[in-house]
Structure 1
């Protein structure tokens, strides 16, 4: 049974989280591009440690905050933000950065978070985790991440010609499809809706083909009622590891955006430490931004 179209999507308030690193710098044009395209208010925030820094040179017990304030002033004076309605602020934290951001999201009624991710992996990932991914798993609104393999944009503009929406066919996936269709409509883009059938060990002959056919029927049923006939949509079913197939299809189609839903979790901090989960693999290796929408 088809699902109804979600029409209450808004992108009026954007939050761009920055630590002034090269990763954040790469994400800024996308934050500005979304803000300009949808006439949004861009909230630029940096969360710094509230610790007293006694060894800073020159002596400054509030080095972290003062340094962030200076960098923020330089950022908002840049030409890229000309003509963009924006607010900027520096927040202090005792160490739980995602918790501070979550409170800011609620306080300012944020519709979308934009941030860069460094793509840390392996043992270092397990030990240190990823603040960006913890936000992806915990934020009450969609999160647009720009990974290390995404091409640097010289100018701030939003051009979404091809959108790839990956679904696990669970009930929560209706929300990320709604966002994909919203962007497809407003950007006049082509959208591909895909599902990956996972291969688990040895299977009987014909099993995977049956799974593919069943998944294709469920994809057809997932397309919302009222979807405009003019929407260019392709349905894709692949077999293999989800992250590998998502990345492969995105590269094959030269996608401008991947839309996906991270698996629900009650422990976002724990999930953010696992380098083998699908969301981590896609966020770290995608050649285009990734919009994660929790169900």
Structure 2
């Protein structure tokens, strides 16, 4: 997705689908396929792995592919055949290294417009699967990343165009990086756009004055959506009080949201630190995929 000025041009091509070759990634693959069909995009199916010591010794001594590498490539080819059978141009890439650093690098090298990955929210000590380090990929990725959590609606049942998009913001600078993408996607798909700000209870010192205070938040939210966008995306603004994760997940269900758009802060942090954040918990609990934009 190329950004022209302050307005992204919606063109998801090519797409990088990062897979751990386990069932947790199947649904993410369905979303990659859905988008590839819609945008006539090429899909690069990528698996990053750490070669075992015996396999390394075989490859070094005999100058042949190890059984480990051959088996992984066979699995990638099987996934690719499902894409190709539906008319999608597909490329497979089996790369050595830690997924959290290798995947973002491959995405940049291939000039990807979008990274698609799944997650099961595994513990931080399971370092062999992309699902367990997807939150770290989010921190390292400089590109828009679509993460499909374990509770997301199955991609095979989703139809494009999207009907309703939610942009959740705490009105911070890094959260605002995602606003142009939410607006551009709403325009492209002709979707309704919900803009939600959740105010922590600790910020409401005088509950009896909440009506007056909420008006200030509503006015700030109104500035998020540019005037020209109101002609095509029918924006709705919402201000709620409570815990952001709970209110956003609730909003997704009540408003039947098809896509959540978030701005996240890209920092040098490990996967465990991100997993404890609200952002990753939202991905795990959301009933829809989550598009994150690193600020």
TM-score, normalisation: structure 1: 0.86
| 1:23-43 per-position Cα deviation (integer Å, ceiling 9, x unaligned) | 111111100111111122211
Q: How well do the aligned residues superpose, as a CA RMSD in angstroms?
A: 2.5
**What do the CA deviations read for 1:129-188 (whole angstroms, capped 9, x no partner)?**
841011112101011011111132336854411111101112333331211122212212
Secondary structure of 1:273 counterpart = helix
| Greater relative contact order structure (CA < 8 Å, 6+ sep) | 1
Q: Following TM superposition, by how much is the alpha carbon of 1:211 offset from its aligned partner in structure 2, in angstroms?
A: 3.7
* Runs of 5+ unmatched residues, structure 2: 56-63
| Preserved contact between residue 29 and residue 153 of structure 1 (Cα < 8 Å) | yes
Equivalent residue, structure 1, for 2:59: none
Give 2:61's aligned residue.
none
SS in 2 for 1:200: helix
Corresponding residue to 1:259 among 261, 274, 281: 261
Q: Report the counterpart of residue 106 of structure 2 in structure 1.
A: 104
**1:251-286, Cα deviation, whole Å (9 max, x unpaired):** 100111111112x1422325x435431111111111
- Aligned residue pairs, count: 280
Deviating more after overlay: 147-156 vs 231-240: 147-156
Gaps of 5+ in 1: 55-59
Q: 1:1-295, aligned counterparts within 5 Å? A: 6-53=7-54, 62-78=66-82, 81-93=85-97, 96-120=98-122, 124=123, 130-154=132-156, 158-200=160-202, 203-206=205-208, 208-262=210-264, 264-269=265-270, 272-295=272-295
Q: Aligned pair in 2 of structure 1 residues 69, 22: CA closer, same or farther (>3 Å)?
A: same
CA distance in 1 between partners of 2:85 and 2:288 (Å): 22
Q: Distance in 1 between matches of 2:228 and 2:204?
A: 41
**2:226 aligns to what SS in structure 1?**
coil
Measure, in 1, the Cα distance between the counterparts of 2:138 and 2:210. Answer: 32
1:75-116, Cα deviation, whole Å (9 max, x unpaired):
1122675211221111111xx221111210110111110011
* 3-state SS of 2:88 partner: coil
Measure, in 2, the Cα distance between the counterparts of 1:71 and 1:40: 22
